Each structure stands twice: as C-alpha cells, then as structure tokens.
C-alpha cells in the first residue's frame, strides 16, 4: 500500500522538494495507521474480525482497515489524486471502525436476504451522500483457506459508475439519515 501511494504521489508532485516533503508525511501517516491497526487487532488478540451472516463468513482484517483509512480518510495524503474522501458520518465511529463496519453490514443484510457468492457491494446513503461498501468472496488465510467475504473498501461515491448502481434500487431506512439500497 505504501509503495503504491508513493508511486501515485510521484505522478502528481511538481518538484522533487514537494515529493520529498509528501513522502515524509506519507511515511508518518502510514506508520500511524499501521500502529492504530496493530493496536486494534492485537489488543483483542486477533488478526481480524470474523462474523457470520447466513452461512457466509465475513472478514474485516488489517488490509481492510489500512486500505480504507489511507485511501478515503486522510485528505492531505491524497491531495492531487482523484480519490473520493469520506465525510464525517455520524453512524461511523472511526475509533471503533471495525465494529462499526460489521454493524453496517449486519444491518444491510437484515434488510436484504439475497446474499450469495456473486454479491460484490452494498449501497448506503448517509445524510444524502451515497456510499459503497465493497466485499469479495474469496479463499482466505484467516478462514484456514476456506471461502468467505473479505471487506475490501468503503467510500463516498463520486464516479458515475458507482452512482449509477443506485438506479432502480429500493431505498430502506436503517435509521434517521441512514439508508440502504437493495
């Protein structure tokens, strides 16, 4: 993740000084996010959070945490890159992010019973902003090489390809200002 981010930064920096400054900042932010993820998971003596919906296992792991935070929660890290930034969402507790994501996924599938191995994403609106939560059905080490859903990303939809996924979907109120689309 870090080296991919540095490669992206190199393409948008106008000088070597700007790149060197942003590179140092990037290392600091990545260290902080890595530290937070290690605390979060190792504090609970777990490498990940595994939970079940229907007959399917879901996994939220360090990759999930680090990817979402480095891509969608640190605007200064992504300056100049065309990456969607998540707004402050009252329903998302960044200090308890893993449990919050789990709760969101459980709420969604309490309303939508069509979960199957082809399911790739869940659609939400928070305070009228559209968001997408991506999952992928795959074989995972965390599940002893068994199949399950890995939570991959969660971000505000800005691209037409993501926004168009809401077309024709039924809106369901989960709580005040929080909707899912099925």
CB of 117 within 8 A of CB of 137?
A: yes
Which candidate, 78, 177, 53, places its Cα nearest to that of 126? 177
Query: In this predicted model, what pLDDT tens digit does every residue of 23-71 receive, in sequence order?
Result: 888 888 889 888 888 888 877 777 899 999 999 999 999 899 988 988 8
* 78 has pLDDT over 70: no
In whole angstroms, give the CA distance from residue 65 to residue 102: 12
Which of 93, 103, 96 shows the shortest CA–CA distance to 44?
Answer: 96
Tokens of 44: 């609970």
Using CA atoms, how far apart are residues 97 and 74, in angstroms rounded to an integer?
Answer: 15
pLDDT, average across residues 163-179: 95
pTM for this prediction:
0.87
Q: Tally the residues of the chain.
A: 182
Amino acid 141: pLDDT: 95
DSSP state of 81: S
Instruction: Give the pLDDT band (50/70/90) at residue 80.
Output: low
């Amino acid at each position: 993740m870090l080296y991919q981010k540095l490669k992206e930064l190199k393409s948008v920096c106008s000088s070597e000084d700007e790149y060197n400054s942003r590179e140092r900042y990037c290392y600091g932010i990545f260290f902080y996010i890595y530290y937070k993820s290690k605390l979060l998971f190792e504090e609970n003596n777990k490498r990940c959070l595994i939970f079940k919906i229907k007959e399917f296992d879901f996994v939220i792991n360090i990759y999930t945490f680090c990817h979402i935070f480095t891509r969608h929660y640190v605007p200064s890290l992504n300056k100049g890159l065309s990456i969607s930034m998540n707004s402050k969402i009252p329903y998302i507790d960044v200090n308890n992010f893993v449990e919050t994501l789990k709760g969101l996924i459980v709420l969604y599938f309490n309303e939508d019973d069509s979960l199957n191995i082809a399911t790739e994403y869940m659609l939400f609106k928070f305070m009228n902003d559209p968001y997408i939560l991506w999952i992928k059905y795959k074989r995972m080490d965390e599940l002893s090489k068994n199949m399950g859903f890995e939570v991959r990303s969660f971000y505000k939809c800005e691209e037409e390809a993501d926004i168009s996924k809401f077309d024709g979907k039924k809106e369901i109120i989960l709580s005040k200002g929080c909707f899912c689309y099925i």
